[in-house]
Amino acid sequence: MNRMFFVLGLLVLPQLGGCALVQFSKRVEPPMVDVTRVTLAEQSEEGVVVHAMIRVQNPNDVPLPLVASEYMMLLDPNHSFTFDDKLQQMLAAKGIQELRLSAAFATKGQAVAEATYHIRGSVRYEPPGQIRRILTDSGIPLPAVAYSATGQLAP
């Protein structure tokens, strides 16, 4: 009886392993990220708020959870803003999503219209699959896609 289970196991395991190999061999491409525009959203005597629009595009046939965004924005002359955000958004399969990132600067009445900006950051995403969950539970960081841009602030 035990021998029959052993033989049955030898016949079934390669089939299951083949299914797992097909599952894990399908490569998930990282999303594409770019800065589409940076605009002056609000201005007061104390400071300004700037919005950066970031387009994230998923080239895969499976949805990708977007879990975090880290970014730093510099606004000439000598203003900087750094932020880490938990996104908790789902990027649809073959989908495009725009993220609005905000930055506040204490400019104290200083003119910033058409100032030069520099933005750089990354978007962390979670690839599908059980192995990714095991690695995440083990403390291995999720993959991230970096972006950067420099330009003139749009009004």
CA angle 89, 91, 94 (to 5 degrees): 175
Domain boundaries, the chain: 28-152
What does residue 58 show for φ and ψ, rounded to 5 degrees?
-100, 115
Specify the CATH class of 28-152 in words. Answer: mainly beta
This prediction's pTM: 0.78
Q: What is the mean pLDDT of each run of 10 residues along the chain (155 residues)?
A: 47 47 66 96 93 97 95 91 94 97 91 90 92 81 95 87
